[in-house]
């Protein structure tokens, strides 16, 4: 059973190539990202269904205590992974709302364009690379790293 979270790079799409005079976050660009996000969400939901079926199918009482412990650890790992994916689905839904409200693709901190390539790599990104870098530096400083 796969416990890896699908990521945007596993979602098959053709990188968007804007026209020379195309405005940032045009309708075509928004549709491009909407398709990526919906496909990603669909993959995550599919993984959740597979995990549910796997646990239901494999949760038979095992006579050996070591086998049972191993199985329970596998289930716990799968459920932790699905919990992270559930949080990711919420981020995808938030990005979909931003698309509908024409707020998608702009940094929530400084308001500049996040950029097409960054969004293709991380469709749920809410900060430009500069603000994200500063945020990570501050986080490391707060943690004493």
Domains and their CATH numbers in the chain: 22-104 (1.20.120.910), 105-145 (no CATH)
Round to whole Å and give the CA distance between 17 and 26: 12
Annotated binding-site residue numbers for Zn(2+): 107, 110, 128, 131
Does the pLDDT value for residue 144 go beyond 90? no
- Eight-class DSSP state of 127: S
Residue 2, Cβ neighbours under 10 Å: how many?
A: 11
pTM above 0.75, yes or no: yes
Does the pLDDT value for residue 145 go beyond 60? no
69 compared with 38, residue with greater pLDDT:
38
Q: What is the pLDDT of residues 73-99, one digit of tens each?
A: 888 888 898 889 999 999 999 999 999
Q: What value does the mean pLDDT of the chain take?
A: 88
Burial 14-29, CB ≥16 within 10 A → b, else e: eebeeeeeeeebeeeb
Annotated binding-site residue numbers: 107, 110, 128, 131
Q: Which of 45, 21, 127, 34 has its CA nearest to residue 13? A: 34
User: Which residues are CB-contacts of 89 (< 8 A; sequence separation ≥ 6)?
Assistant: 41, 44, 45
């Amino acid at each position: 059973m796969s416990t890896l979270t699908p990521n945007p790079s596993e979602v098959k799409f053709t990188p968007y190539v804007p026209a020379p005079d195309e405005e940032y976050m045009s309708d075509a660009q928004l549709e491009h990202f909407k398709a990526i996000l919906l496909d990603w969400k669909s993959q995550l939901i599919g993984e959740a269904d597979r995990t549910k079926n796997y646990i239901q199918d494999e949760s038979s009482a095992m006579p050996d205590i070591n086998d049972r412990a191993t199985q329970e650890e596998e289930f716990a790992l799968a459920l932790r992974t699905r919990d992270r994916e559930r949080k990711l689905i919420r981020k995808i839904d938030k990005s979909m709302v931003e698309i509908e409200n024409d707020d998608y693709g702009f940094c929530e901190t400084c308001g500049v364009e996040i950029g097409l390539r960054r969004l293709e790599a991380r469709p749920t990104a809410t900060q430009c690379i500069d603000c994200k870098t500063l945020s990570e530096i501050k986080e490391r400083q707060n943690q004493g790293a």
